Homo-oligomer: A and B are copies of this chain.
Amino acid sequence: MKKLRLCTPGPTEVHPETLLAMAAPVIHHRSRPAVELIGRVHTSLQKLFFTKQRVFMISGSGTSAMEAAVVNHFSPGDEVITIEGGKFGERWSSIARAYGLKVHAVGVEWGTALSPEQLYHELEAHPNSKGVFATCVETSTATLTDIKGLAKMVQRTKAILVVDAVSAIGAVPLKMDEWGVDVVATGSQKAMMLPPGLAFIACSVKAIDMWSNATLPRFYFDLGAMDKAWGKSSTPFTPPISLVVGLEDALLKIEEEGLESVWFTTEALGRAARAGVAGLGLEVYSKQPAPGVTAGLLPEGCDGKKLVNEVRDRFNIFIAGGQGKLAARIIRLSSMGYTDRFDLIAALGAIEKVLCEMGFAPPVPGGAITDAMREMEGA
């Protein structure tokens, strides 16, 4: 009977209408209805990505699109710069190293973001770099990077800017063509309001020009094959067609609401989540907080794993703990996608209750919820 509330920063809650759309009888992915469907979502995806370029769909997780970004643009030994400000920044380095690239990893204090000026110096220090790998929203630290600023620096060079936009697309402004971002990779289970299993990637002309010279081996992730299929509203391999059906539903919902309005709501909910986290007596972890995900640093001695598990097991509310070196040290809440203010205060209420019982009562009972509500006035 307990109502399930998914407040994790991915997967995020999926609209019941989208879930039911995906429960319709499966259609064949090469039949005319599927071809027409794929054609329609292609157009919607271009709007969502703010690009005139093609947005390719991959059957896979967000990481599959990240790997596609690596293997299509580079050759063994190529120098690249990766920005490591959290678990997902580190993933860029791991993929690049797995494929034999020469990685200049820029360490960034977790919870902060590399500034365009800092990137400028890195590009000066490594003038042969062919790519810069950044993370728009570092989900593990709930931190936003100034991609527009980074793009200005990378544009002056021969390098391409490759952006992990997994918790970004649909949550924060990311205007691919206007900002001059070269590769945007994302997944379905964040602000795109779908279950996981679909990944997306789009490339600038500058990036596409690198495909033919890139000698890294690829087959499943070959963007050239995807590009050929795109023109026929198709995919090189069987797409997860039920997710594509859901995608159309979710994209229509975003279009109806208006993307600018979705960004505005996400921003307001993010402010509210930070106010709420502070009201719980936690420190907002990130110094450059992202709108769609909020991390709160737990007091010393407070076991984050226990907190997350108790909130889930007793109230069926799913929140996230920390990853990597932040495991058990932080909690994370989503304000992306199909999340509203009442989900947020439900989560804050549950967290407060469990924190109290664990001996970490917040300064003012109910203060977290009041603070969060106040931040949302007018939103």
Enumerate chain A interface residues (CB-CB to B < 8 A): 4, 6, 8, 10-14, 19-20, 22-32, 58-64, 67, 94-95, 98-100, 187, 189, 195-198, 216-220, 222, 237-243, 309, 312-313, 318, 320
Give the residue name and chain of the B residue nearest to A76 (CB).
B217
Q: Are A220 and B67 in contact (CB under 8 A)?
A: yes
Q: Are B25 and A60 in contact (CB under 8 A)?
A: no
Give the residue name and chain of the B residue nearest to A58 (CB).
B60
Contact of A28 among B28, B216, B219, B320 (CB under 8 A): B320
Task: Contacts A4-B25, A29-B11, A219-B95 given; indicate if A62 touches B238 (C-beta within 8 A).
Answer: yes
Q: Are A25 and B6 in contact (CB under 8 A)?
A: yes
Task: Contacts A95-B219, A216-B217 given; indicate if A241 touches B11 (C-beta within 8 A).
Answer: yes
Most buried by B among A6, A13, A217: A217
Q: Kindly provide the distance from the CB of A270 to the nearest chain B CB, expressed in whole angstroms.
A: 20
Give the residue name and chain of the B residue nearest to A6 (CB).
B26
Please give, as numbers and ranges, the residues of chain B lying within 8 Å of A10 by CB-CB distance: 238
Task: Contacts A27-B4, A309-B32, A318-B27 given; indicate if A59 touches B216 (C-beta within 8 A).
Answer: no
Number of copies: 2
How far, in whole Å, are A217 and B99 apart by their CA atoms in the complex? 5
How far, in whole Å, are A28 and B195 apart by their CA atoms in the complex? 10
Contact of A64 among B24, B59, B94, B222 (CB under 8 A): B59
Task: Contacts A197-B197, A217-B99, A219-B67 given; indicate if A13 touches B26 (C-beta within 8 A).
Answer: yes
Q: Kindly provide the distance from the CB of A18 to the nearest chain B CB, expressed in whole angstroms.
A: 9
How far, in whole Å, are A95 and B218 apart by their CA atoms in the complex? 8
User: 12 additional contacts, CB 8 Å, given A26-B195, A27-B318, A196-B239?
Assistant: A10-B238, A14-B26, A28-B318, A32-B309, A32-B312, A59-B64, A60-B64, A63-B220, A67-B219, A98-B218, A187-B238, A195-B242
Q: Are B23 and A197 in contact (CB under 8 A)?
A: no
Give the residue name and chain of the B residue nearest to A319 (CB).
B28
Q: Which 8 A-B pairs have the closest CB atoms?
A: A197-B240, A23-B23, A195-B242, A98-B219, A19-B23, A61-B237, A61-B238, A63-B237
